[in-house]
Amino acid sequence: MISTTAQPLLSLHAVSKIYGKGAAEMQALRGIDLHIHRGEFVAVMGASGSGKSTCMNILGCLDTPTSGHYVFQGVHVESLTRDQRALLRRHYLGFVFQGFNLLNRTTALENVELPLIYLGVNGEQRRLAARNALRSVGLEDRETHTPNELSGGQQQRVAIARALVTEPIVLLADEPTGNLDSLRSIEIMELLTEFNRHLGITIIMVTHEPDMAAYAERIVTFKDGLIAADQACGDGNHVG
């Protein structure tokens, strides 16, 4: 159970986001408030154009609000420079995408090592950390395989290992099961749930699939740039 009395890990306060000007102006977010505590598993849902992807981009420090405040561990992210936001992403956030985003001619081990290169970790330490990350997703016997030698589910496991190798405190997952069949989707969701419960990683996941959202403890639903619903989802235990 997450304490809601503690200071939130990250908060959006009256955040708005406007794209374009004049007749082309589009308000993607309309003054939303959102508070996520350390260790939560939050599913984010909503139709295309609802604002959920814009919200995730702001939470992931890939975009900044037009107005309002984004506070991450007490730091006002909107006041940081581009380079400072990049450092925050690099050290505190992990990303998992629907399309895996692996380098095709690079082995699983080398794909997982990549974030550590940007952090300046030396080769021996990188390989050790990458092997441990692959082991954590059950792929220790696939480290020399390239993506085209792996199934979709295995590729997503490599992507999760790559996201976790820097030991982030927040994992942002954008439709992580969108390209997978039902069985592989369940495997990935069980893996994410395990990392959330046993390692305490805060997970924020965009999904269109209610059965995948049911793995989360909380579902935030967007509509027309606003948060239409924010509700607990049992105890996060999935019922098949």
Residues in the chain: 240
State the CB neighbour count (10 A cutoff) for residue 177. 26
Q: Is residue 14 part of a domain?
A: yes
Residue 239: predicted pLDDT:
40
Position 153 pLDDT exceeds 90: yes
Q: Is residue 91 part of a domain?
A: yes
Q: How many domains does the chain have?
A: 1
The whole-model pTM stands at 0.91
pLDDT in tens, 168-225: 999 999 999 988 999 999 999 999 999 999 999 999 999 999 999 999 999 999 999 9
- Residue 161 maps to which CATH number? 3.40.50.300
Q: Is residue 219 part of a domain?
A: yes
SS3 174: strand
Q: Is residue 135 part of a domain?
A: yes
In angstroms, rounded to a whole number, what is the distance separating the alpha carbons of residues 106 and 165? Answer: 17
DSSP annotation of 200 reads: -
Among residues 62, 66, 86, 82, the alpha carbon closest in space to that of 174 is found at 62
Q: Is residue 4 part of a domain?
A: no
Mean pLDDT of the chain: 92
Residue 86: predicted pLDDT:
93
Residue 117: predicted pLDDT:
92
Residue 233: predicted pLDDT:
83
Q: Is residue 213 part of a domain?
A: yes
pLDDT in tens, 117-152: 989 999 999 999 999 999 999 999 999 999 999 999
Which domain, by its residues, includes 101?
10-232
